[in-house]
Amino acid sequence: MFDTVLFPIDQSRQAAETAAVALQLAQQHNSRLVLLSVVEPGQDDPAAVARLLEEARDRFQAEGVACEVLEREGKPAFVIGDVADEINADVIVMGTRGIAIETDQPSTAARVIQLAPCPVLVVP
């Protein structure tokens, strides 16, 4: 059912907790797992992002799940949607820090839901 799972990750606690869900989904469906990290110019340290991706890949491989790693630059919600379309993702699995109800800025997860070309599984 889910041939390709896109798992956008960052350095948040929520992303680390969501990794278990992405892993389980990929294992259950024997899916292609693609890890994505989006570097926001001026906000993220590219070396730290590269280490994060390497550690995540190693963790998944230790569990027997091979994965591809992508690093892109830009605004996270837009890049996640573009990459999902580019790789023909069947589902995006991501964590959330909560939907920003009282601000004019929606959370990244809320924006991804609006922009994604496929279903989005948001793990609280």
pLDDT confidence bin for 102, thresholds 50/70/90? low
pTM confidence score: 0.90
- The residue segments making up the domain with residue 23 are 4-123
- C-alpha to C-alpha distances, 106 to 33, 43, 57, 98, 100, nearest whole angstrom: 27, 19, 29, 10, 5
- pLDDT tens for 69-95 read 999 999 999 999 999 999 999 999 998
- pLDDT tens for 7-58 read 999 887 888 889 999 999 999 999 999 999 998 888 888 888 888 889 999 9
- The domain tally of the chain equals 1
| CATH code of the domain containing 72 | 3.40.50.620
